[in-house]
Amino acid sequence: MKFKFKKSVNLLLACLTALPLMLTPTNVSAASDANINLSSEKQVIRGFGGINHPVWVGDLTAAQRETAFGNGQNQLGFSVLRIWVDPNPNNWALEVATAKRAIEKGAIVFASPWNPPSSMVETFNRNGDTNAKRLRYDKYAAYAQHLNDFVTFMKNNGVNLYAISVQNEPDYAHDWTWWTPQEILRFMKENAGSIQGTKVMAPESFQYLKNISDPILNDPQALANMDILGAHLYGTQFSNFAYPLFKQKGAGKELWMTEVYYPNSDNNSADRWPEALDISYHMHNAMVEGDFQAYVWWYIRRSYGPMKEDGTISKRGYNMAHFSKFVRPGYVRVDASKNPDTNTFVSAYKGDNKVVVVAINRSTSAKSQRFVLQNGNASTVSSYVTDSSRNLASLAPINVSNGAFTAQLPAQSVTTFVANITGGNGGGNVGTGTTYEAETGTTLTDAVIETAYPGFTGSGYVNFNAYTGSAIQWNDINNTITGTKNVKFRYALESGTRTLDIYVNGTKVLSNEPFTQTGSWSTWGEKTIQVPMNSGTNTLRIVTTGTEGPNIDNITVTAAS
């Protein structure tokens, strides 16, 4: 059995160099309120998860799939699964069972290759290493077809991939295939556009080194062919999590953290405390400092992972679950006082008319922390804590008074607070956003207006009517400035997952965007996407890619801050 051992002495030195900076709190201030501004939206969250790698460490069992992707008691609530693109197509079927079950549980699946097929690889001299591997320059088109073939295989076996990556860690390829920034750029410009049926991800740098992604962002054609900028965070200092160039150039693109283990991969380290608390602290920084939309661990099941080898959830896993179980796909991070007290760290999210606050106390003493809800209110707050002796333990409800509540944060703990929002902006829209009904001012193609199921707004909702290529187009979406916009869909879907292509001003900006089940046709859920729009009047068109879509009630369009 082949196992992946990461990383070499060079990375170890990088981690040791970065560790003092990682463990030193930034922006420390005197104890103050943690203000949660529900009107100040940040990034849309795609989800949290990890990789399943049957060839290297064995497949998840049926029971372990439920633990990973279910969201009940003693389950992780993961909503993202990463799988491996084996260079040998004869092994592709090994990925299907877990991927299908993850999708059935509401997760999205993406894939990363380590190597092309051997017929496409050559060796070369890289800094004295004469056995270094790279993709042959005359095989770029063939490699793109190899990735297409994987997408098609998975789709034919019931797995619609959300995205496929061009290469895992092209800049740390001692055991796989090297790519220079110029080679990645060439592939993204000349070949990535031929990959169909899913989003394209690049470059998955092992340490979020910007020199390999800057050229993509600075080249209009390469950028047009990249849907998701993927990055790994091995040894990356928190001060390097921010990416100003992506904020400048990446309108309509997604930003994902697609692999890490943290703080180490020591055998049987998954339950060490307070070491495991570092995972939620790392996730906090990825969300708040890095603005990542997804956070993907390395192996789901491993002796140092979120699930131990016996299939039970570890302390590391419970720290991840403080985000993954409550911050669901389509939720939006909102502004919060990220460091209201020494060693106290706070992030906040909203969706489904809820606010979710994750508070981490890295101090060795308990803290009393006051939380203030702005532009929204609640009556009571549920809370769940993990510390040295408890795992996601449910605590007594906390009353909210005048939009504020005070909670005790135990020493070396992570606590998640959840509340239903009343008034203000709890459902995912900024106060200046505009709601557009699906049945009014739209152009419908093979779709019909209905009123059969209750709970809709306006005069009805739109049913796609079981046609492929059925569409709704909003014709008059008005914006004052050009930039990235949040589009929140209000929709209903009894069961399963259905996908839509999204077009803005006639250009496809998202492919096979998944809409997961809401439970019944009269249960209206929400999903937020991010797209680029111009100042003035814009069109937004959504088109079925299968034989059906969800029922659409309305959209709300807001500026993404």
Among residues 41, 95, 169, 437, the one annotated as catalytic is 169
Q: How far apart are CA 414 and CA 345, in angstroms?
A: 9
Q: How far apart are CA 337 and CA 34, in angstroms?
A: 5
- Let me know how long the chain is: 561
Helix (H) or strand (E) holding 21: helix 9-23
Helix (H) or strand (E) holding 130: strand 129-135
The pairs formed by 119-123 with CB atoms below 8 angstroms and a separation of 24 or more are: 120/146, 121/177
Whether residue 169 lies in the annotated active site: yes
Per-residue exposure over 114-125, b if at least 16 CB sit within 10 Å of its own CB, e if not: bbbeeebbeeee
Count of other CB atoms within 10 angstroms of residue 132: 16
Among residues 95, 259, 437, 526, the one annotated as catalytic is 259
Count of other CB atoms within 10 angstroms of residue 220: 10
Whether residue 122 lies in the annotated active site: no
Determine the Cα angle at 98 with ends 91 and 145, to 5°: 45
Per-residue exposure over 356-385, b if at least 16 CB sit within 10 Å of its own CB, e if not: bbbbbbbbeeebebebbbbbbbbeebbbbb
Ranges of H-type helices in 201-301: 214-217, 220-224, 244-249, 277-288
- Structure tokens that stand for 67 in this block: 């633990």
Centroid of chain to Cα 450: 33
The catalytic residue positions are 169, 259
